[in-house]
Amino acid sequence: MWTATLALNGLIGSGVPQDWSTHMIGHEITALYGLDHAQTLAIVLPSMLKIMQKDKTEKLLQYSDRIWNIPKNLSDGERISLAIEKTQDFFEAMGIKTRFSDYGLGQEVIEKIIAGLKAHKMIKLGERGKVTPEIAGKVLELSL
């Protein structure tokens, strides 16, 4: 309970740039299609990291090192790609599918999710406000 409290009250993120775009997109997916939060994060996160990797290079390299112990003798691009791949593989190993198609959903979801983001005024997501509806559309397309 203590860990959940710290995770949800924002205390541990004070003063640190935070990106909740995957979660916000995930909430739209849950509202529209009834997938649980873990499923929506597993669908959206790998694609979000791929699309936003230039903006998140430093954090992704840190992630590749601290979480996946990816060797530093690889190029930055290789380390980032491998970290994203390992993340997706982890979700799959936990029994959580990582594509819309795994849940019987296709291209039709994109327009509805984007409309939901716009209706809820979620048009500048991410730690720098760079995840626009257009970027979210690219993420969703990659998640099919």
- pTM value is 0.93
The span from the first CA to the last CA of the chain, in angstroms, equals 35
Q: Can you list the alpha helix ranges (DSSP code H) found in the chain?
A: 2-9, 21-33, 37-51, 57-66, 76-93, 108-119, 133-142
Report pLDDT for 71: 97
Please check whether residue 13 lies inside any domain of the structure: no
Collapsing DSSP to helix, strand or coil, 55 comes out as coil
Can you list the residues of the chain whose pLDDT is less than 50?
Answer: none
Class of residue 10 by CB neighbours under 10 A (exposed 0-12, middle 13-18, buried 19+): exposed
- CA pair distance 69, 99, nearest whole angstrom: 26
Please check whether residue 23 lies inside any domain of the structure: yes
Please check whether residue 121 lies inside any domain of the structure: yes
Domain of residue 91, residue span = 19-142
Class of residue 55 by CB neighbours under 10 A (exposed 0-12, middle 13-18, buried 19+): middle
Convert the pLDDT of each residue in 20-53 to its tens digit. Answer: 999 999 999 999 999 999 999 999 999 999 999 9
Please check whether residue 5 lies inside any domain of the structure: no
Report pLDDT for 134: 98
Number of domains in the chain: 1
- CA pair distance 141, 24, nearest whole angstrom: 16
Q: What is the CATH number of the domain that holds 123?
A: 1.20.1090.10
